[in-house]
């Protein structure tokens, strides 16, 4: 299964036209579907740390789901809510260069008021399509996300119910499920935050994981009967081992004007108008230095390899790095100007490893 197939299938179960059941979920029991996304929950973690999550472990395992590349929140959530790959929705990473901006970088999660989210991400969301067909769609997440450019780009169409504490998230979720047909998207990022700061498997991460399990246990007790719960993630996470700072003790920064992406998946931009040979030289230099530690693509090779999906819009191609570097193993590629921030993080994602790229899909029908 692929992350792009989940929401179309759930909406198909609620009767949304022009969608199909791609994950064999079947019809909705009573027209109440809850999709709970746990930021940073990889499929491997569910198996490895099963003893810490008795409630999650009791759910039905509908299968492992592959995310799009890069395995990062901005890209995965856009794929989830549009049902298409990054080459179509254009959300190509945590940060990318805004074309013809003089090197300005768009942080997809923090946004930039100079960038119109409706133009940057032009694909109609499944939320918009469902609301137009009288399906009640609600987005339940922390209050701070409500008015962001990212929310307008990726989650538009849904009614937003902001809540910060787990108890309040549950209350808002239950309220949103009252009128059927109903689709609720619930989001928490506690696990991702703990993973970045302290690492997968740390005491802080395990506490966050246990908190998620307790939240699900409460949902199972309090949700309306016959509500169907689905739980998934947007990416997994690896703990850093080797660190390379781009341009420190190496020639990796030569002829690169702008560095974007994140430490596991880098977009590298040369100056506007750089020749094909100049781009090829940078790619060759990175390949020679990193060898088997990373996969290196020029923009053209990335498109030919379907790295961002088999369809790539002109806008998406325009935003891609001239060179793209994907770290392997436990390597991270640190931007020199952000060495302190990026080097301090223990947990990372964005790459193409199975740990980063596969998330669980668990389900239960409330009895």
Q: How far is CA 227 from CA 16, 114, 181, in A?
A: 18, 41, 11
Rounded to whole angstroms, the Cα distance separating 188 from 247 reads: 36
Residue with tokens 């022009």: 18
The CATH code for residues 243-348 is 3.30.1360.180
pLDDT recorded at residue 25 = 97
- Per the DSSP assignment, residues forming a β-bridge with 182 are 32, 136
pLDDT recorded at residue 273 = 83
Pick the residue with more confidence: 272 or 287? 287
Q: What is the pTM of this model?
A: 0.96
| Distance, CA of 259 to chain centre | 20
Per-residue pLDDT of 214-229, as tens digits, reads 999 999 999 999 999 9
Asked whether 173 and 140 are in contact (CB, 8 A), the reply is yes
Per-residue pLDDT of 158-202, as tens digits, reads 999 999 999 999 999 999 999 999 999 999 999 999 999 999 999
The CATH code for residues 3-84+123-238+352-365 is 3.40.720.10
Per-residue pLDDT of 328-362, as tens digits, reads 999 999 999 999 999 999 999 999 999 999 999 99
Helix (H) or strand (E) holding 333: strand 332-335
* Closest listed residue to residue 226, CA positions, set 170, 180, 175: 180
Q: How much of the chain, in percent, has pLDDT values that exceed 90?
A: 98
Write the Ramachandran bin of 12: left for phi over 0, alpha for psi from -120 to 50, otherwise beta. Answer: alpha
pLDDT recorded at residue 301 = 98
Asked whether 20 and 8 are in contact (CB, 8 A), the reply is yes
The segment(s) of the chain belonging to CATH 3.40.720.10 are: 3-84+123-238+352-365
Q: What average pLDDT does range 112-117 have in this prediction?
A: 95
Per-residue pLDDT of 303-335, as tens digits, reads 999 999 999 999 999 999 999 999 999 999 999
Tokens for 272, please give them.
Answer: 């506007």
Tokens for 115, please give them.
Answer: 């960038």
The segment(s) of the chain belonging to CATH 3.30.1360.180 are: 243-348
Q: What average pLDDT does range 31-45 have in this prediction?
A: 98
State yes or no: pLDDT of 119 exceeds 90.
Answer: yes
pLDDT recorded at residue 272 = 85
Asked whether 6 and 23 are in contact (CB, 8 A), the reply is yes
Rounded to whole angstroms, the Cα distance separating 184 from 176 reads: 7
Q: What is the mean pLDDT of the chain?
A: 97
pLDDT recorded at residue 36 = 98
Asked whether 297 and 307 are in contact (CB, 8 A), the reply is yes
Enter the DSSP assignment of 189.
-
Enter the DSSP assignment of 242.
-
């Amino acid at each position: 299964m692929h992350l792009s197939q989940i929401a179309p299938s759930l909406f198909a179960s609620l009767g949304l036209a022009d969608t199909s059941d791609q994950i064999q979920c079947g019809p909705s029991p009573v027209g109440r579907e809850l999709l709970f996304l746990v930021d940073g929950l990889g499929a491997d973690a569910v198996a490895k740390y099963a003893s810490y999550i008795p409630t999650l472990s009791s759910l039905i395992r509908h299968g492992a789901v592959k995310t799009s590349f890069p395995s990062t929140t901005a890209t995965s959530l856009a794929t989830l809510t549009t049902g298409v790959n990054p080459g179509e929705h254009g959300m190509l990473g945590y940060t990318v260069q805004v074309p013809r901006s003089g090197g300005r970088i768009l942080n997809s999660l923090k946004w930039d008021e100079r960038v119109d989210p409706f133009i940057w991400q032009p694909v109609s969301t499944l939320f918009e399509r469902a609301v137009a067909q009288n399906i009640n769609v609600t987005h339940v997440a922390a209050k701070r996300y409500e008015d962001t450019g990212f929310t307008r780009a990726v989650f538009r169409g849904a009614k937003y119910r902001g809540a910060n504490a787990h108890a309040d998230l549950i209350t808002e979720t239950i309220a949103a499920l009252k009128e059927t047909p109903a689709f609720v998207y619930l989001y928490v990022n506690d696990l991702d935050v703990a993973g970045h700061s302290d690492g997968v498997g740390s005491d802080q991460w395990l506490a966050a994981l246990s908190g998620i399990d307790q939240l699900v246990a409460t949902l199972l007790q309090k949700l309306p009967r016959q509500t169907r719960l689905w739980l998934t993630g947007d990416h997994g996470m690896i703990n850093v081992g080797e660190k390379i700072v781009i341009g420190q003790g190496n020639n990796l920064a030569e002829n690169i004007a702008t560095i974007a992406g994140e430490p596991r998946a880098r977009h590298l931009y040369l100056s506007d108008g750089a020749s094909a040979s100049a781009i090829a030289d940078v790619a060759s230099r990175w390949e020679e230095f990193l060898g088997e530690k990373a996969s290196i693509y020029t923009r053209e090779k990335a498109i030919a390899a379907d790295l961002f999906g088999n369809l790539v819009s002109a806008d998406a191609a325009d935003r891609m790095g001239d060179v793209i570097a994907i770290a392997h193993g436990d390597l991270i590629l640190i931007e020199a100007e952000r060495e302190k921030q990026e080097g301090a993080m223990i947990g990372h994602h964005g790459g193409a490893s199975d740990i980063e790229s596969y998330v669980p899909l668990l389900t239960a029908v409330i009895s």
